[in-house]
Structure 1
Amino acid sequence: MTVLVGRVPGSDTGAGALVLGARLARALGGPVVVCTVTSPGEDAAPDPAPVVDGIDGVDVETTVVEDRSIPGGLARAAHAHQAGVIVLGDAPPGPGSVGARLARSADVPVALVGDDAVHDGPVTRVTCAWGGGRHASRVLATAVDLSRRTGASLRVASFGPQRGPTVPPEAGLHAEEVVVEQWREQMVAAQRAALTELGVTDAETLAVAGASVEEAVESIGWDDGEILVVGANAAGTATRVLLGDPGGAIVRGAPVPVVLTPGTTTLA
């Protein structure tokens, strides 16, 4: 499986993307294609050779694509090279960022990583953020596929705030605890049912509530070699995931690389 690593000209970021791309390529048994997107009419593309120095253990190819849009160019390059995943140094993604726009337009998973999350060892664990909903089972299938291909353990986690909109402040602490416990039980039951359908029996399941979603995410503990899988449906969920609501809080709170998957296909 080809791993496409996007390079943004003139940016100092990207070391984390190259390291993660190489990690994934080693585990998935494919080459790395480092793609630079340039604007039409530029005099010359930057030399990509120095960018790939130090990538060992995988075949590396470089390519340059002309496009008015960096996300559009990367999505086109991923299709041309039959890439199973696009890796980009853009974390955490913000409104209008390349990563946010790419996740909306790409029909393959998009992995986002910051240079402060660089880890050159193997993938040790894959955590899937489970929120229920229409595409949850297919998002989980991507996480299961990734864990199997990398030999990593699998964890499924749901995150929520301690006090939800259904618990008014005047209801009292006991009522809040009851509602949170019911939510935990429902989430874990749904996680286990979905795992059973996929034939998975050895995954860790949990549901955690905190003062905020970000706090809940931070509280579960993360390995240096971990990857988080979050749903980002191409029909529009990506906008909500990246810009706000629970999905955005999960992405912001995670100290590890994040794979945003459209939930319409597993790694191919």
Structure 2
Amino acid sequence: MTVLVGRVPGEEPGSGALVLGARLARALGGPLVVCTVTSPGDGTPAGPAPAVDGVEVETTVVEDRSVPGGLARAAHARQAAVIVLGDAPPGPGSVGARLARSADVPVAVAGDSAVHDGPVTRVTCAWGGGRHASRVLATAVDLARRTGGSLRVASFGPQRGTTVPSEAGLHAEEVVVEQWREQMLAAQRAALDELGVTDAETLAAAGATVEEAVMGIGWDDGELLVVGANAAGAATRVLLGDPGGAIVRGAPVPVVLTPGTTTLS
């Protein structure tokens, strides 16, 4: 299964995107293709392939007026299972945002923190319900199985009780949050049962903000977070608004944005 890394011209060989791409290539057992997108007629050569232990690496250059468009075209031509970028984190108008909106394969984003270069230890799926939720979970299940990592399913929500002045209001907010938590856990377990998964951890975390809820559940250095590119309704809202955008912003580990219409295979 080919892993395609989108490389920015002049990017250092040890960049987060390349380290994350190498981790995924080792886990998926396929080659790594480092792709640079240049403007038509630019003439930039592909350059030498970086040395990566245990992974076959090649470089390629694609000419396109759009970096996301060029990467999507290269991924299709190479039948890549995933595209890896170094956005930190992907925000409105970034390559990651535009590619996640249009790509038909998962987009893994290294982020701005140091990327762990060891094996994948755990895969967490952000569960929010909705039309594509089961397929997003299927991608996370597939990724966990292929990498050998454990699986965790988590829902995140804001607990706005601190903004309610009365004691009665605080209690009412706590009741609402607890009902939400029970609904999310029940939906998670039902979706896992449909996929035949019995060994996944499930949780529903609420915080003063969604970002706080994300940060509060504890993360491994070797972890990946899978988020649906349609998690907040329209495809772009995962990068623009709550709850999807807040989950991406709060994640301290690399994020895999998936369209929720296909697994890695």
TM-score by length of 2: 0.94
Question: What's the CA shift string for 1:86-109, capped at 9, x where partnerless?
Answer: 000112111100110011111000
Q: How many residues get paired?
A: 263
CA contact (8 A) 2:36 2:46 kept: no
CA distance in 2, matches of 1:178, 1:261: 33
Q: CA deviation at 1:243?
A: 1.0
The runs of at least 4 aligned residues of structure 1 exceeding 6 Å deviation read: none
Identity, in percent, stands at: 86
Residue of structure 2 equivalent to 1:21: 21
Structure 1 letter corresponding to 2:37 = V
What's the RMSD between the two structures over aligned residues? Answer: 2.0
Kept in 2, the 8 Å contact 1:88–1:110? The answer is yes
Return the offset for 1:46. 5.0
Following the alignment from structure 1 to structure 2, what is the Cα–Cα distance between the partners of residues 31 and 120? Answer: 17
Whichever residue aligns with residue 26 of structure 1, its letter is R
2:47 aligned partner: 48
SS at match of 2:113: helix
**Aligned match of 2:6:** 6
CA distance in 2 between counterparts of 1:54 and 1:181 reads 51
Matched, 1:102 2:93: no
Distance 1:215 1:267 in 2: 30
CA distance in 2, matches of 1:14, 1:190: 40
1:91 aligns with 2:88: yes
Gaps of 5+ in 1: none
Distance 1:86 1:184 in 2: 33
What are the equivalent positions in structure 2 for 1:143-158 lying under 5 Å apart?
A: 143-158=140-155
The one of 50, 61, 65 aligned to 1:68: 65
Structure 1 226/112 Cα, relative in aligned 2: closer, same or farther at 3 Å?
A: same
Equivalence for 1:205: 202
**1:117 alignment partner, SS class:** coil
Q: Amino acid of the residue matched to residue 62 of structure 1?
A: T
Cα gap change, 1:54 to 1:13, in 2 (>3 Å): closer
Give the whole-Å Cα distance in 1 for the aligned partners of 2:228 and 2:165.
Answer: 31
- Offset of residue 257 of structure 1: 0.3
* 2:5 alignment partner, SS class: strand
1:102-156 deviation line (CA, Å, top 9, x unaligned): 1111100000112523111000000000000111000000000000000100000
Contact conserved, 1:2 with 1:33, CA < 8 A, in 2? yes
Q: In 2, Cα distance between the equivalents of 1:255 and 1:120?
A: 15
SS in 1 for 2:243: helix
Q: Aligned equivalents of 1:139 and 1:169: distance in 2?
A: 38
119-128 or 174-183, larger mean C-alpha shift: 174-183
